[in-house]
Amino acid sequence: MPQEMARRNYIFDTIREVFRAFAFEPIETPSLENLSTLMGKYGEEGDKLLFKVLNSGDFMKDVDFSEDYRKVAPRICERGLRYDLTVPFARFVVQHRDQLVFPFRRYQLQPVWRADRPQKGRYREFYQCDADMIGSTSLLNEVELVQMIDLVFAKLGVDVVLKINNRKILAGIADCVQAPDKLVDITVAIDKLDKIGIEGVRAELAERGLSSEQIVALQPVFDLQGTAEQKLEQLATMFAASEVGQKGIEETRSLFGLIAAVQPTCTVELDLTLARGLNYYTGAIFEVKAQGVAIGSICGGGRYDNLTGIFGMPDVSGVGISFGADRIYDVLTELDLFPEGLEQAARVLFVNFGEKEMQYCLQCATQLRRQGIPTLVYPDAAKMKKQMDFANRKGIPYVAFVGETEMDSHTVTIKNMTTGEQTSVPADEIAQHL
């Protein structure tokens, strides 16, 4: 509906304005991607949520129905709807590598699809608003993403908490419990902490093959308290024998130092249980939660070091964030933060008294539209009550009247629909008056 679109566009415009302020460039990618591009990038859970699209033509001709469906599916479904914007972006970078200038900064506002069960905060089709830098390993990129997150939610008036972790720290944790081969299982389980609680995480870790001793050894990670620096100090002791864990601590300590220098207004904290279930993350990871609203993350992202490598362009590091426009919409609705008047299509309505008056109104409306003022001329010479009711129902703040007197004096009578005040205004000063 128009009101919903006006509110959604307010979110898009706010995010796009911030992206442009940081010199990101817009691109678009197709809704459909080859399944070979999408599969295996989002973890076991993600692969299940991919919408697969049947091939055209007689796709069932050579199917043996006694076969396992998992073997049949790749032959009859070669394409799928994109699950996110990051993997298609990596494919785009490789495809256009000779035309891009690196490091390359892109933004993208497009829908994505998940074969999920719809509920509050979870949708089958929803918009993501992504910004990525690729071709640079500098932590300055992560800091700018933090600044963008801070600025977007400040503009929207949402009080948020930005949680940060590092996948190398998670790898160090896996090393500490002597389960480096279980890194993916550990991150997938930990990523569900908010949904299933600590006992649920323990149960899932057991299901995924971790021993009771290994699960107990993970407990100190959940119990760490204090500032980011204090937590990192405690981890440094735990990670004495983990090279990757030490690297994660070093990166995270440097990142928090840079963030302190730019002084964001939002709360920023180190959350060692943050995992981000996507397989392609390799460094810093981010997640944003709205204060006072029971909904999942409304923004997230992280560093990926070799996502383009799977498409034949190795050793190109990137980092990005994704704003979930539909969840942000729900947050702004629940907190009543949308500005008034967003759905207002017209600022002024010219009442239609007849053919001759309508011609005069059209000339005035043309000038107003050229000056950027949304203007309506009522299309029919209907009864005055009907036209005024229309203006009230559409929330149009001003109504303009043109009769014989106004045409003779080259004026327009303008009524303020809020105060009821009527003013005679020269025809060439209407825009200034409004």
Q: What is the pLDDT of residues 212-226, one digit of tens each?
A: 888 888 888 777 888
Is residue 40, in this structure, part of any structural domain at all? no
- Residue 131, token pair as written in the block: 């910004």
Q: Which pLDDT band holds residue 273 (cuts at 50, 70, 90)?
A: confident
Residue owning tokens 């971790």: 210
Is residue 58, in this structure, part of any structural domain at all? no
* Residue 112 scores a pLDDT above 70: yes
As a whole number of angstroms, the distance between CA 146 and CA 21 comes to: 14
As a whole number of angstroms, the distance between CA 301 and CA 320 comes to: 6
Is residue 41, in this structure, part of any structural domain at all? no
| Statement to judge: residues 170 and 278 lie in one domain | yes
Which residue type is seen at 27? Answer: I
| Statement to judge: residues 138 and 196 lie in one domain | no
* Residue 160 scores a pLDDT above 90: yes
| Statement to judge: residues 91 and 139 lie in one domain | yes
Domain tally for the chain?
3
As a whole number of angstroms, the distance between CA 326 and CA 119 comes to: 12
pLDDT, tens digit (0-9, with 9 covering 90-100), for 373-404: 999 999 999 999 999 999 999 999 999 999 99
Bond into 103 cis (ω within 30): yes
Q: Mean pLDDT throughout 363-370? A: 97
Is residue 184, in this structure, part of any structural domain at all? yes
| Statement to judge: residues 100 and 184 lie in one domain | no
Q: Which pLDDT band holds residue 352 (cuts at 50, 70, 90)?
A: very high
Q: Which pLDDT band holds residue 182 (cuts at 50, 70, 90)?
A: confident
| Statement to judge: residues 309 and 359 lie in one domain | no
Q: Which pLDDT band holds residue 120 (cuts at 50, 70, 90)?
A: confident
| Statement to judge: residues 113 and 191 lie in one domain | no
Q: Which pLDDT band holds residue 69 (cuts at 50, 70, 90)?
A: low
Q: Which of 126, 160, 183 lies closest to 12, judged by CA?
A: 126
| Statement to judge: residues 335 and 409 lie in one domain | no
Residue 247 host element (H or E) = helix 243-262
CATH of the domain at 283: 3.30.930.10
pLDDT, tens digit (0-9, with 9 covering 90-100), for 73-99: 777 888 999 999 999 999 999 999 999
Residue 111: predicted pLDDT: 97
Is residue 253, in this structure, part of any structural domain at all? yes
pTM of the prediction?
A: 0.87
As a whole number of angstroms, the distance between CA 235 and CA 246 comes to: 9
As a whole number of angstroms, the distance between CA 410 and CA 421 comes to: 20
Is residue 242, in this structure, part of any structural domain at all? yes
- If one compares 73 and 209, the residue with the highest pLDDT of the two is 209
Residue 264: predicted pLDDT: 97
The answer to whether 132 and 93 have CB atoms below 8 angstroms apart is: no
| Statement to judge: residues 168 and 235 lie in one domain | yes
| Statement to judge: residues 143 and 21 lie in one domain | yes
Is residue 107, in this structure, part of any structural domain at all? yes
| Statement to judge: residues 213 and 169 lie in one domain | yes
Residue 277: predicted pLDDT: 66
Is residue 275, in this structure, part of any structural domain at all? yes
| Statement to judge: residues 207 and 353 lie in one domain | no
**Chain centroid offset of residue 104 CA:** 20
CATH of the domain at 354: 3.40.50.800
| Statement to judge: residues 241 and 175 lie in one domain | yes
Q: What is the mean pLDDT of the chain?
A: 92
Find the domain containing 91 and state its range: 1-31+82-155+295-343
As a whole number of angstroms, the distance between CA 284 and CA 423 comes to: 60
pLDDT > 70: percent of the chain:
99
pLDDT > 90: percent of the chain:
69
